Amino acid sequence: MNIQKVGIVGAGQMGNGIAHVMALAGYDVLLTDVSADALEKAMIVMSGNLERQVSRGKITEDEHKNALAQITTTQKLSDLGDCDLIIESATERETVKQAIFEDLLPHLKPETILTSNTSSISITRLASRTDRPEKFMGFHFMNPVPIMQLVELIRGIATDEPTYNACKEVVERLNKTAASAEDFPAFIVNRILMPMINEAVYTLYEGVGSVKSIDDSMKLGANHPMGPLELADFIGLDTCLAIMNVLHDGLADTKYRPCPLLTKYVEAGWLGRKTQRGFYDYRGDVPVPTR
């Protein structure tokens, strides 16, 4: 399978990061979103991130210009019809993802590979709603995409070997490392990471420690680059809650029960950095703990 043109659905933080690395690797990239503003913002963000890489000597100015030239944007899903590989990177809601694939299917080439950047949803279930479950798999990038070196490749029950190998070759061309994961709730990274974050929220909820003491403990006591509550704000508390619900529902084990305080923050709309408030308040010059 010769992959040259990559379609990316969703121009948010993950989508523009994926477009960034794909374009740098020389792929023709078609980035789509329902929002024209999101597409415009994505191009500005990508340009800024590429400029930052130039200033740090990671890439040349020519590579910066060439990468931007490789990226085209569109608001029409149907324009992705001639792509060889499509990576869906929309919001972490299964109904939204299913609707996107349903709208895409009539326009695709028979050989097009479909993938999802989902961090937790069943690949087998998503694939079963398409006309090509054997050419469908999970392609889970880590955030921020241009910096993080890992990509989880998740096979559904029907994913065939040529599809897996083609996606693995893409990861290698990106100079990233592929980790093969089986299709169980939250795969590898989030199966381990999210319960740790959830436990940190329980530690806060039960009054064992404050936001600052919990984060300082894990940064200075376990050598983590970010504390778990700081990391939760970075990921988005709504995403953390969604993944915990997938784990809880999919594995039916009470150890994955989302902390009520996490649910409360999401209900308040305090989702972390993207809304300026989460476990920290980001509206001032310096983040301030909210508890």
* Residues of the binding site for NAD(+): 10-15, 33, 92, 97, 119, 143, 274
Active-site position among 119, 120, 122, 198? 119
Helices (H), 129-236: 161-173, 189-205, 211-221, 228-235
Catalytic residue among 20, 116, 120, 152: 152
Triad 12, 215, 236: Cα angle to 5°: 20
Q: Is 40 a catalytic residue?
A: no
Catalytic annotation present for 66: no
41's tokens: 């913002």
Task: Record the tokens describing residue 148, joined without a space.
Answer: 């993080």
Strands 5-9 and 85-88: parallel
- Cα 77 to its chain centre, rounded Å, is 20
Alpha-carbon distance values, 222 to 178, 218, 226, 228 (Å): 26, 5, 10, 11
Catalytic residue among 120, 122, 190, 198: 190
Q: What are phi and psi of 159, to 5 degrees?
A: -60, 130
- The one-letter code for the residue type at 118 is T
Which ranges constitute the DSSP H helices of the chain?
13-24, 36-55, 61-69, 94-104, 123-128, 161-173, 189-205, 211-221, 228-235, 237-251, 260-267
Task: Verify whether residue 119 is a known catalytic residue.
Answer: yes
Give the H/E segment covering residue 152.
strand 150-155
What SS3 class is residue 115?
strand
175 catalytic? Reply is no
- Give the contacts of 64 (CB within 8 A, at least 6 positions apart): 50, 51, 53, 54
Which residues have a catalytic role annotated? 119, 140, 152, 190
